[in-house]
């Protein structure tokens, strides 16, 4: 598009020692990731736990909502390209908050940080809910009796998951966890294969479903957005590339793979269970099937591996405000308190699909749709140079705001009435 030839408007950030605020990791020269490795990283970032709830999204919206699924994927792919162009505006930009800083100064940086950290926090909460739900599916009717206290079912497994994941949050070097979480792409493929196996051999594909359900469209849209909104890490992946000019090809390959994976899971789940789909497709699977055991165990791996990676950026941001942040004991205390707080929230809102819909409708749309468009318009002054693209970007902003408002209201209402 013509916007690629636009020259960004300089901002005061460039004259205020912008590079001095770059993360230490990025100040040191690095050779950079290959094209293939970057494709894997981007695909892994997009292949998240949204794959479990996307069949439920189709059951909420009906078959016609598949058109919205492809629209969401297209919009998120385009806003990913906009982020790339914002990154190209200045070689010192290495992270998403850097883009906000470059466009609007300190206020832009803080706006991005708030939404990013809140999104990461709620994703960490969803990990615990996911673990509790699926372990309860594997080991039903489990309970722990203590003096004056009885804990059973999902609450028990949620607490046990938190205890098991706690030591991983204390690590300063998370390289080992990063390698484990890189298996997310393989895990998604195994999960899809397991569901297909169960459909062919155990359940069948006899459900017809509804054509469209207007009342469920807000929830469906929110869940669709969760699947394609990893924009918070796109700038970091872009900065790590050896050949950054090829990032658009990386996005095309990664989004294509994820559209196929998510789309297949959506159709398979809806044909298998129709309107009886639960918030996570694994909760519908027959427990006596070996395929179900494989699917659920595969589902349980990613949250254990990724919880620490998700919560660490928030912990580091908090530690920066502490006087004695260099002390390891304070770091462990901060991360432990964060874990405890996510446990409390997870126990209070044990509704996976509704929480995911809220994350998608409010936070993910803001981070992955609205902010990239706003930053792009500001940096490149598109309204003064390319009216056609300006119209497209503004149209995305307007539709994003409308979807966010309706979806957020619907998801919050469902959470409140389900408490």
pLDDT in tens, 377-413: 999 987 777 788 999 999 999 999 999 999 888 888 8
- Reply yes or no on whether the pLDDT at 211 is more than 60: yes
- CA–CA separation, 224 and 226 (whole Å): 5
pLDDT recorded at residue 401: 94
Band of pLDDT at residue 3, cut at 50, 70 and 90: very low
Q: Is the pLDDT of residue 417 over 80?
A: no
> Which among 81-85, 204-208, 214-218, 282-286 has the top mean pLDDT?
81-85
User: Could you tell me if 70 and 215 are in contact, meaning their C-beta atoms sit under 8 angstroms apart?
Assistant: no
Question: In the numeric block, which tokens belong to residue 369?
Answer: 């749709």
Residue 131 above 70 pLDDT? yes
Is 334 a residue whose pLDDT tops 70? yes
| C-alpha to C-alpha distance for 161 and 130, rounded to whole angstroms | 10
Backbone angles phi, psi at 151, to 5 degrees: -120, 135
- Name 143's bridge partners: 152
**pLDDT reading at 339 higher than 90:** yes
Per DSSP, 277 falls in state -
**What is the 8-class DSSP label of residue 361?**
I
pLDDT of residue 254: 92
Q: Are 99 and 375 in contact, with CB atoms under 8 Å apart? A: yes
pLDDT of residue 326: 59
Residues 229-252, mean pLDDT to the nearest whole number: 86
pLDDT at 12: 44
Mean pLDDT of 315-326: 70
> Of 32-36, 99-103, 108-112, 212-216, which gets the smallest average pLDDT?
32-36
| pLDDT for the residue 14 | 39
CA distance 178 to 310: 11
Give the best-scoring range by mean pLDDT among 76-85, 124-133, 182-191.
Answer: 76-85
> 95: helix, coil or strand?
coil
Which pTM does this prediction carry? Answer: 0.80
Residue 260's pLDDT is what?
94
- Candidates 330, 295, 255, 329; CA nearest to 138 is 295
Q: How confident is the model at residue 9 (pLDDT cuts 50, 70, 90)?
A: low
User: Which pLDDT value is given to residue 287?
Assistant: 81
Both tokens of 34, joined, read 């290959």
Q: And the tokens for 365? A: 């749309």
% pLDDT > 90, the chain: 32
Mean pLDDT estimate for the chain: 82
Q: Check residue 149 and give its pLDDT.
A: 76
177 vs 40 pLDDT, higher one: 40
Give pLDDT, residue 13: 40
pLDDT of residue 11: 47
Per-residue pLDDT, 144:
83
CA–CA dist 291, 194 (Å, integer): 5
Q: At what angle do helices 328-348 and 106-138 cross, to 10 degrees?
A: 60
Pairing of strands 149-152, 143-146: antiparallel
Residue-range domains of the chain with CATH: 2-12+33-418 (1.20.1740.10)
Confidence at residue 184, expressed as pLDDT on a 0 to 100 scale: 64
CA end-to-end span of the chain = 48
pLDDT for the residue 45: 76
pLDDT per position as a tens digit, 242-254: 888 899 999 999 9
pLDDT in tens, 168-185: 788 765 554 445 545 667
Q: Which of 30, 379, 7, 47 is nearest to 239 (CA)?
A: 30
pLDDT for 282? 86
Task: Please provide the DSSP assignment of 198-214 as one string.
Answer: HIIIII-S-----S--G
256-278 average pLDDT score: 92
**How far apart are alpha carbons 286 and 277 in whole angstroms?**
13
- Any idea what DSSP says for residue 278? -
Specify the pLDDT at position 26. Answer: 42
Q: Give whole-number Cα distances, 163 to 155, 166, 216, 384, in Å.
A: 13, 5, 36, 55
């Amino acid at each position: 598009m013509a916007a690629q030839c636009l020259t960004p408007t300089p901002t005061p950030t460039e004259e205020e020692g912008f590079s001095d605020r770059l993360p230490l990791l990025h100040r040191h020269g690095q050779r950079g990731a290959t094209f293939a490795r970057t494709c894997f990283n981007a695909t892994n970032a997009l292949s998240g736990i949204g794959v479990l709830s996307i069949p439920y999204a189709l059951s909420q919206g009906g078959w016609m909502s598949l058109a919205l699924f492809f629209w969401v994927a297209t919009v998120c792919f385009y806003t990913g390209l906009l982020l790339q162009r914002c990154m190209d505006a200045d070689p010192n930009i290495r992270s998403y908050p850097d883009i906000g800083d470059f466009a609007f100064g300190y206020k832009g940086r803080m706006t991005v940080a708030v939404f990013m950290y809140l999104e990461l926090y709620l994703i960490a909460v969803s990990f615990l809910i996911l673990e509790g739900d699926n372990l309860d599916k594997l080991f039903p009717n489990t309970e722990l009796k203590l003096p004056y206290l009885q804990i059973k079912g999902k609450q028990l497994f949620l607490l046990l998951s938190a205890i098991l994941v706690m030591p991983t949050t204390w690590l300063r070097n998370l390289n080992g966890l990063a390698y484990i979480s890189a298996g997310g792409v393989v895990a998604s493929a195994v999960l899809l294969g397991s569901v297909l196996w169960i459909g062919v051999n155990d359940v069948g594909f006899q459900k017809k479903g509804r054509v469209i359900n207007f009342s469920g469209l807000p929830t469906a849209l929110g869940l669709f957005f969760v699947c394609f909104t990893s924009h918070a890490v796109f700038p970091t992946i872009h900065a790590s590339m050896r050949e950054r000019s090829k990032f658009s090809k990386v996005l095309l390959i990664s989004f294509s793979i994820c559209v196929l994976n998510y789309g297949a899971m959506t159709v398979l789940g809806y044909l298998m269970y129709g309107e009886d789909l639960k918030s996570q497709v694994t909760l519908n699977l027959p427990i006596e099937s070996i395929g179900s055991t494989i699917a659920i165990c595969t589902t349980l791996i990613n949250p254990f591996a990724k919880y620490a990676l998700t919560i660490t950026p928030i912990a580091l941001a908090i530690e920066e405000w502490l006087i004695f942040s260099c002390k390891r004991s304070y770091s462990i205390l901060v991360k432990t308190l964060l874990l405890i707080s996510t446990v409390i929230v997870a126990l209070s809102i044990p509704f996976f699909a509704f929480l995911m819909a809220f994350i998608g409708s409010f936070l993910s749309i803001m981070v992955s749709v609205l902010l990239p468009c706003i930053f792009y318009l500001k940096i490149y002054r598109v309204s003064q140079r390319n009216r056609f693209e300006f119209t497209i970007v503004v149209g995305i902003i307007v539709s994003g705001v409308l979807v966010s408002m309706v979806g957020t209201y619907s998801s919050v209402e469902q959470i409140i009435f389900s408490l």
